A and B are shown apart, each in its own frame.
Chain A
Amino acid sequence: MARLMGLTGNEAIAYAVKQCNVDVVAAYPITPQTIMVEVISEYVYNGEINAEFVCVESEHSAMSACVGASLTGARVFTATASQGLALMHEMLYIASGLRCPIVMGVANRALSAPLNIHGDHSDMMGSRDCGWIQIYAENAQEAYDWVIQAFKIAEDPRVLLPVSVNIDGFILSHSMEGVNVLDDDEVSRFLPPRRPLITIDPAKPITVGALCLPDYYFEIKFQQIQALREAYNVIREVNKEYESLSGRKYGFIESYAMEDAEAAIVCLGSTAGTAKAVARELRKEGKRVGVVKPWVYRPFPEDDLIRALGDVKVLAVLDRACSFGAPFNALCSDVVATLYRNGKDIKIFNCLYGLGGRDITPSDLRVIFNEALEIAETGKVKEHMKFVGVRE
Chain B
Amino acid sequence: MLIEVRWHGRGGQGIVTVSRLLAYAALMDGKYVQAFPEFGPERRGAPVTGYTRISDEPIVIHSQIYNPHIVVVVDPTLIGSVDVTKGLVPGGLMIIHSERSPEEVKKSLGVTDAKVYTVNAMRIALDILGRPIYNTAMLGALLKAAPLASMDSMAKVILERFPGAIGEKNVAVIKRAYEEAVGV
Residue ranges of A at the interface with B (Cβ–Cβ < 8 Å): 4, 6, 31, 117-119, 138-139, 168, 170-172, 174-178, 270-271, 273-274, 276-277, 357, 359-362
Among B35, B40, B63, contact of A117 (Cβ-Cβ < 8 Å)? B40
| A174–B63 CA distance with the chains assembled, in angstroms | 13
User: B interface, how many residues as a size bin?
Assistant: 20 to 34
| A311–B63 CA distance with the chains assembled, in angstroms | 29
CB-based contact B63/A361 at 8 Å: yes
CB-based contact A170/B39 at 8 Å: yes
Q: Chain B CB within 10 Å — which of A6, A119, A276, A359 has the most?
A: A6
**Which residues of B are found within 8 Å of A117, using beta-carbon distances?**
40-41
> Given A6-B20, A6-B24, are A175 and B64 also a contact pair (CB < 8 Å)?
no
- Report the minimal beta-carbon distance from A145 to chain B, rounded to whole angstroms: 15
Residue ranges of B at the interface with A (Cβ–Cβ < 8 Å): 20, 23-24, 27, 32-37, 39-41, 59-64, 66
CB-based contact A359/B36 at 8 Å: no
CB-based contact A175/B40 at 8 Å: no
> Given A174-B36, A175-B34, are A6 and B23 also a contact pair (CB < 8 Å)?
yes
**Which residues of B are found within 8 Å of A118, using beta-carbon distances?**
39-40
> Given A6-B27, A117-B40, are A273 and B62 also a contact pair (CB < 8 Å)?
yes
CB-based contact A174/B62 at 8 Å: no
| A270–B39 CA distance with the chains assembled, in angstroms | 15
CB-based contact A6/B33 at 8 Å: yes
> Given A6-B23, A177-B59, A274-B63, are A357 and B39 also a contact pair (CB < 8 Å)?
yes
| A139–B33 CA distance with the chains assembled, in angstroms | 12
Among A6, A175, A178, contact of B62 (Cβ-Cβ < 8 Å)? A175
CB-based contact A176/B64 at 8 Å: no
CB-based contact B60/A276 at 8 Å: yes
CB-based contact A178/B27 at 8 Å: yes
CB-based contact A274/B20 at 8 Å: no
CB-based contact B36/A175 at 8 Å: yes
**A280: nearest residue on chain B (CB-CB)?**
B60
